[in-house]
Amino acid sequence: AQSVTQLGSHVSVSEGALVLLRCNYSSSVPPYLFWYVQYPNQGLQLLLKYTSAATLVKGINGFEAEFKKSETSFHLTKPSAHMSDAAEYFCAVRGFDYKLSFGAGTTVTVRA
């Protein structure tokens, strides 16, 4: 069975600073990895996905993630935070059984 662990339930950054959200996965097969964002009182929106085509994946809103097999990690970054990036972010992994397993989530606050 596959699972993900998100390190840090809350991250606070200054506007313009680097955003780094950590995700480590556990999977017995090559994983399909996803990052989703949830704005208050809304559903989840796909930020990006890793499907083995490239280790550096670019997503929407300036986010990107790097797949590192040796570290079993899929960390999410954005070079310069914007106030609109305040949200909750979820890392998720999906196996061949199609089940999607989520991390506990990381809430990002952006300070002016």
Indicate the residue among 77 and 101 with the shorter CB distance to another protein.
101
Indicate the residue among 13 and 33 with the shorter CB distance to another protein.
33
Q: Closest approach of Cβ 80 to another protein, in Å?
A: 25
Give dist(CA 5, CA 75) in Å, integer: 11
Token pair 């899929």 is at which residue? 74
Indicate the residue among 17 and 107 with the shorter CB distance to another protein.
107
Q: Closest approach of Cβ 105 to another protein, in Å?
A: 5
DSSP per residue over 6-41, as a string? EE-SEEEEETTS-EEEEEEEE-SS--EEEEEEE-TT
The residues binding another protein (CB under 8 A) are: 9, 32, 34, 36, 41-46, 49, 51, 90, 94-105
Cα 81 → chain centroid? 15
Q: Closest approach of Cβ 74 to another protein, in Å?
A: 14
Q: Closest approach of Cβ 6 to another protein, in Å?
A: 8
Indicate the residue among 36 and 73 with the shorter CB distance to another protein.
36
